[in-house]
Amino acid sequence: MGQQAGRRSWAEPWKIKMVEPLRVVSREQRERALADAGYNTFLLRSDDVYIDLLTDSGTNAMSDRQWAGLMLGDEAYAGSRNFFHLEEAVQRRYGYRHLVPTHQGRGAEHLLSKVAIQPGQFVPGNMYFTTTRAHQELAGGVFTDVIIPEAHDPSDRHPFKGNVDLGALEALIAREGAGRIAYVSLAATVNMAGGQPVSMANVRALRALCSRHGIRIMLDATRLVENAFFIQEREEGFATRSIADIVHEFCSYTDGAWMSSKKDSLVNIGGWVAVNDTALFEELRNLVVLYEGLHTYGGLAGRDMEAMAIGIEESLQDDYIRARIGQVRYLGDLLTDWEIPIVQPVGGHAIFLDARAFYVHLPQDLFPAQTLAAELYLDSGIRAMERGIVSAGRNPLTGDHTRPRLELTRLTIPRRVYTQAHMDVVAESVKNVHDNRAWARGLRMVYEPKYLRFFQARFEPLPSN
């Protein structure tokens, strides 16, 4: 009793109404499945996976309210009532004037890149994201990383590792001229840095700098709710402000945003792009017809938009986001206690294993993070994802691998899906793979697609000698 007195745990602010059975797969089956998948976890069948931590994208468990919302789908081709619910939710919570729905985040990135980037223009951003940069480059933009240097060090404990390096941005503006900058591509949180947040002070200062030069700020709002939690927790003056309020203020410093609703908004599909500028909106609204669908559905069913509108509200509840990030931290704390190298501090949606520190004997060209994802699957049927040299792709000018400093394997936690007991099983498997790390040999790539190669590349294990 004595030791437990005064202890107060958080718990999920929901209970379970429906369950989905999991499949346990034998070691022999896993070996076969992994070889069939070319040692790429993206190519595994989900039926061969036990605990699926590939991504938190579209893997959310919807609430009873959202499922009820599906039944209220108005599947009219034009002017669906669900579109107006979604528009209202985005205007109220994110604060932008004009909304264009898209089938998911990259649909929005495609439209925005096409209308807002002229070939040859620079697109400075706080670290790249795979689909974001791909669309910016397809539109002729030149992505330039302006994240603070601390973001590239997995052990640096800076509380806002997603911040923009304002000095680096200012230097770029001075060198190239404001006219050669399409917009600042601001992500909150920063997925590729380990789900690291941007501070309110940083976005305010960024606004001031960009306003002086007449440069727009476009926000990747995919994980902004998670970012708001870190502001509430870590930034002076925000402890008593609500998550909804923080999200709204953050957006007020930007000119527009795009969203993958498959993350923060607790749905399985959907996205949007929203802007304040009417001329820009009109171009987006026209282009969406060509690529996604009419501007009141953008590739979505009416029911999907209803679930998104409800999901936006649920995602902004303080007790929800505390439990969401609390679960990620629970796993992070276990691994930290066992001295397993992970990106610190733990971010909003995932644990990032530091594959360089795991496999000090493997050079980056033998794909240590890809190897670690494969070893984890072999050990327990847990599916993780590579975020290192494979994800970084090739330099479009030189054709050589881009060699990022961060070589990470991501354990992404779906929202409202797994329990604390699942997190224990995951931690124990990571520990076992860590204990056996000296035996890993690395991989070689035997098939490489041209775009976003990490999704479809195939590998073979190097022979042990």
How far is the CA of 458 from the CAs of 41, 174, 183, 351, in angstroms? 10, 43, 36, 24
Tokens for 369, please give them.
Answer: 């993070």
* Dist CA 370 CA 408 (whole Å): 9
When the beta carbons of 271 and 368 are compared against ligand PLP, the nearer one is 271
CB of 259 to ligand PLP, least distance (A): 8
* Dist CA 381 CA 358 (whole Å): 19
The answer to whether the Cα torsion of 447, 404, 407, 347 is positive or negative is negative
When the beta carbons of 262 and 415 are compared against ligand PLP, the nearer one is 262
The answer to whether the Cα torsion of 143, 147, 150, 153 is positive or negative is negative
CB of 128 to ligand PLP, least distance (A): 10
- Among the listed residues 48, 56, 220, 264, the single catalytic one is 220
When the beta carbons of 46 and 465 are compared against ligand PLP, the nearer one is 46
- Among the listed residues 129, 238, 320, 352, the single catalytic one is 129
What is the contact surface with ligand PLP in residues (CB under 6 A)?
Answer: 57, 104-106, 129, 131-132, 187, 191, 220, 222-223, 260, 262-263, 271
Known active-site residue 387: yes
When the beta carbons of 126 and 364 are compared against ligand PLP, the nearer one is 126
Contact call for residues 277 and 256 (beta carbons, < 8 A): yes
Known active-site residue 455: no
CB of 358 to ligand PLP, least distance (A): 24
Known active-site residue 143: no
Coil, helix or strand for 409?
Answer: strand
- Among the listed residues 387, 410, 415, 453, the single catalytic one is 387
Known active-site residue 42: no
CB of 130 to ligand PLP, least distance (A): 8
- Among the listed residues 263, 356, 410, 437, the single catalytic one is 263
Contact call for residues 313 and 93 (beta carbons, < 8 A): yes
Contact call for residues 69 and 306 (beta carbons, < 8 A): yes
Q: What DSSP designation does 123 have? A: E
Known active-site residue 145: no
The candidate with the shortest Cα–Cα distance to 386, out of 412, 362, 361, is: 412
CB of 403 to ligand PLP, least distance (A): 22
When the beta carbons of 105 and 197 are compared against ligand PLP, the nearer one is 105
Contact call for residues 152 and 405 (beta carbons, < 8 A): yes
When the beta carbons of 60 and 131 are compared against ligand PLP, the nearer one is 131
**Residue 439 C-alpha from the chain's centroid:** 31
Known active-site residue 77: yes
CB of 351 to ligand PLP, least distance (A): 16
* Dist CA 333 CA 343 (whole Å): 12
Contact call for residues 393 and 453 (beta carbons, < 8 A): yes
- Among the listed residues 32, 77, 212, 319, the single catalytic one is 77
* Dist CA 235 CA 127 (whole Å): 22
Closest CB to ligand PLP belongs to which residue?
Answer: 105
- Which amino acids are annotated catalytic? 77, 129-130, 220, 263, 387, 454
